[in-house]
Structure 1
Amino acid sequence: ILVQAYAEKNKIDYRNAFQAMKMPVKPDNFDDFYRLASCDAPEVLMTASIGQIPMMLNYAGPAKRDDTALFSQLAADKRLTKDEKNLVDSYLSIKKKGEVFPYIDSLALVVNKYLTSDDQMAIMQKQMGAQFLSKVWNTNDCFLLDLVKANALSRKMVDFYPLTDEQKATLSDFPAVIREELLLQNDKLLAVIEENKKKTGYTILDMPAAADENLFTEMMKPFKGKAVLVDIWATWCGPCRMANKEMAPLKAQLADSGLVYVYLAGENSPEGTWRNMIPDLKGYHYRMSDANWGYLGRTLKAEGVPTYIVLDKEGDQTFHSVGFPGVDEMKKELKKVLGE
């Protein structure tokens, strides 16, 4: 929110705002307020925002995040070259002394080479949520902590990740009502995944091997001579999901119009989630590398997701919108390129 406000105030895009803005430094005692929460009081269920509290607490973490775990895991990666291993080891050594590491840009390249965005997030999340709060509250067994843990499992299922055997083994630690709800959600998810395997009408395309400046042109080549709606989205984007639902009736109306739907997602959309969401998005799908995602985001002025681009039958852009402009606006723009 702070970065977005900075971008709007200075009339720059989100990426430049993120690089330019100096984030406020949290004091060492910033997370003391968590200790004020009554973690074992059922009265928390009476809170008006109880539906949001467990989700927000899953993002709770120390004021100062420690990246030691991330770089320790990277240092143990057998794929590192000798120079890369020395660079990571040097960073860990200098960090331990409390000194400033001078080669942070080179270090970032090594991190992104071997760890995807999901890998990095998964490692850092081990310092957050229930793991962090159990230390704050000095217990692993309290009512609010059960809600936080259950929410984490539930959110993974929303992203199409069924419970693992290891996760199922932990369900006995939950109250019966929570355990039964999680198992019911898991059964429903497994049924959806099986149903998705039968769906048709969508095609996954390989990214073309093209130079950056020709990348988008090459991606659009299969649709030459057709009107195209390009939807730049992400699986984790709530507004993207909502827009897809709102667009469904319009897409049904235009089913025989010859309009082509092309969906662009990046590696920051987990592949398992992506593969289980696209069966309901009829059209053509690209899932691109972080590098391609960043480049196209800049050149297509996709300053956020969702971003929509309409191309006419000559391949010229006729409409661009960061954010969902609404069904009526989309209908008007699409009918325009269809000549209706």
Structure 2
Amino acid sequence: MKKIWILFLLMMTVLFVGAQSLLPVPEWTNTPAILKGQIIGYEKNAPEMRVQTFAYMPYDDLGTITAEIHEDGSFRMEVPMYATRQGYYFRIGPWYGILVLTAGDSVSVTLDLKSGMPGEEYSLECRGPLAELNNELVRCSTLDIWKSYRNVHNKVSPMSPADFYDSVRKYYHDLALQADSMDLKPITKEWLKLHFQSDMVNVLLLPEKLVNTENLGEDFLRRVTSEVGGNTLMQAYSAQLPTVVNRYEYAFFGDSLFVDQIRRKGDNLAARGYNSDVITDSTNQMRWRYTFSLLGGEQGVIQDAIRGNYYSVILSQDTPLTEKELKSLSQLENASIRNYFQKKNERLKQTLEERKRKRNKQFVFQETTAKESEKFLAEITKKYAGQVILIDFWGTWCGPCRQAIKDFKENHEKLSQKGLVTIYVTDELSPEAVWKNMAAGMPGVHYRIEETLSNEIFSQYGLTGWPSYLIIDKNGHLIYKKTAFREDELVETILRAIDEDVKK
């Protein structure tokens, strides 16, 4: 049985790696690429008429990038790159799919909305580097071969980690064989197999309800890293490397036994009188040693990205790096990631200086003596009587909160011009210095309340996590209370409340 399994692994290696790559091997970079083109038959108010991508690095999250579309349908977008050749998901009008870009170069596309019959898929024509590959990716973008294991097996009974592992490997092995049998150029088949490999890692490391245990266990994780891999910059082609890195971090730090060890380590250091900085450094080192041991060593693409994520988390909270952190960053062997965060740190410092000069013009820090949820909301309602109020419960430590604030920025500006008052509420879990840095870049009214008060508010209004939102109309009535960011719902509810007097 062991010989059969070894033979199967050898077959998988040939299928997914191949004898010699037709795709140029990427290198780390900070040089952007350009996507430009034209939408023939462009109509500004037509549904889904936008050019957009989500800039998601393996070591940083840059958010959504949207290109301006001119009246003639032409557009141009500068796209950040972490690799010299890299796949990106794009929305170009009604078309959605992956294109491979080259750092320092441009890909030109044409989307003709006037050609074809109603109901047919619109097709993109690509020119520039790797045009042959991009045009074939467009051509096969609607095939069933893209279906993830989870889409096909979403109704199966939970299985053991070992059976789940074998089932996933077989599914993607069969997909690779299917790709080989298709009328596609060899370079496209190679790209598809890289995409399958990334998707396989993502499924294995986040099985959700497909396995019958909460902990996958170290043996399972080591098996994934050693046999399936994905720890190579070739995965940049697949547009999934950032997700692969995220899955590895989530799986490793989601091991409850290991998390308990870290918690005990932190508690032990705290009991011995060590400060929070020492505790954080110690537990971070413990996390990294555990992660790198599972990955088979300290060197690799995923290891570099995880090191970069450490600085990303700090800077995402609008907190410049300390001298100690800058020193550790300067010792990072990956020059591309090192330079990226050194420049980002300098930009943040300039931004914070700019905010100091504008202090109290766009945002207000408020204090409250309220100890009960009803009194706190009554205080806000009284202060802004006759106005529509959005209360946004967020935390400096909360990634989804920060992303929601970014995503809501455009609509928030428009609604504020119509008279919306926004109250941002955080609690003591957000460090005060970090909160003030971040709040200074968020136009609105800011409260930092006691944790006991935030817990009471959440309990009273059925809020289950961060971010959460309350909307109060002009008459002081609570008309919306929900956890999680739902932009369309928020905009619709706020506009309806603002327009209430107009309709009367």
TM over 0.5: yes
CA shift, 1:297, in A, is 0.9
Q: Is the 8 A contact 1:233 1:263 kept in 2?
A: yes
CA shift, 1:136, in A, is 3.0
Cα distance in 1, alignment partners of residues 413 and 215 from structure 2: 50
Residue identity over aligned pairs, in percent, reads 21
Cα distance in 2, alignment partners of residues 242 and 137 from structure 1: 29
Cα distance in 2, alignment partners of residues 142 and 28 from structure 1: 19
Select which of 227, 234, 238 maps to 2:395. Answer: 234
1:29 aligns with 2:219: yes
1:155 aligns with 2:313: yes
Q: Point out where structure 1 has 5 or more consecutive residues left out of the alignment.
A: 1-21, 79-113
In structure 2, do the counterparts of structure 1 residues 223 and 276 end up closer, same or farther at CA, with 3 Å as the change threshold?
A: same
1:94-139 deviation per Cα after TM superposition (whole angstroms, max 9, x unaligned): xxxxxxxxxxxxxxxxxxxx98xx99988755543x3322333464
Which TM-score applies when normalising by structure 1?
0.67
Cα distance in 2, alignment partners of residues 252 and 119 from structure 1: 41
Q: Point out where structure 2 has 5 or more consecutive residues left out of the alignment.
A: 1-211
Select which of 62, 69, 77 maps to 2:265. Answer: 69
Q: CA RMSD in A?
A: 3.6
1:304 aligns with 2:465: yes
Q: Is the 8 A contact 2:425 2:449 kept in 1?
A: yes
Cα distance in 2, alignment partners of residues 249 and 267 from structure 1: 29
Q: Is the 8 A contact 1:44 1:50 kept in 2?
A: yes
Q: Is the 8 A contact 1:55 1:151 kept in 2?
A: no
Q: Is the 8 A contact 1:207 1:219 kept in 2?
A: no
Q: Is the 8 A contact 1:39 1:142 kept in 2?
A: no
Residue identity in the other structure for 1:333: R
SS of the equivalent of 1:280 reads: coil
Aligned to 1:91: none
Q: Which moved more, 1:200-209 or 1:49-58?
A: 49-58
In structure 2, do the counterparts of structure 1 residues 215 and 331 end up closer, same or farther at CA, with 3 Å as the change threshold?
A: closer
Select which of 282, 289, 295 maps to 2:443. Answer: 282
Q: Which moved more, 1:233-242 or 1:285-294?
A: 233-242
Which TM-score applies when normalising by structure 2?
0.48
1:182 aligns with 2:372: no
Aligned to 1:217: 378
In structure 2, do the counterparts of structure 1 residues 73 and 333 end up closer, same or farther at CA, with 3 Å as the change threshold?
A: farther
Aligned to 1:197: 356
Cα distance in 2, alignment partners of residues 240 and 273 from structure 1: 15
In structure 2, do the counterparts of structure 1 residues 320 and 213 end up closer, same or farther at CA, with 3 Å as the change threshold?
A: closer
1:211-236 deviation per Cα after TM superposition (whole angstroms, max 9, x unaligned): 45534323544324443222223345
Cα distance in 2, alignment partners of residues 253 and 28 from structure 1: 50
Residue identity in the other structure for 1:169: K
Q: Is the 8 A contact 1:202 1:279 kept in 2?
A: yes
1:258-279 deviation per Cα after TM superposition (whole angstroms, max 9, x unaligned): 4422111233444444323323
Q: Rg larger in 1 or in 2? A: 2
Select which of 44, 50, 54 maps to 2:245. Answer: 54
Q: Is the 8 A contact 1:160 1:276 kept in 2?
A: yes
The structure where strand makes up a greater share of residues is 2
1:250-289 superposed matches below 5 A: 250-255=411-416, 257-289=418-450
1:71-220 superposed matches below 5 A: 71-77=267-273, 125-128=284-287, 130-137=288-295, 139-170=297-328, 171-199=330-358, 200-220=361-381
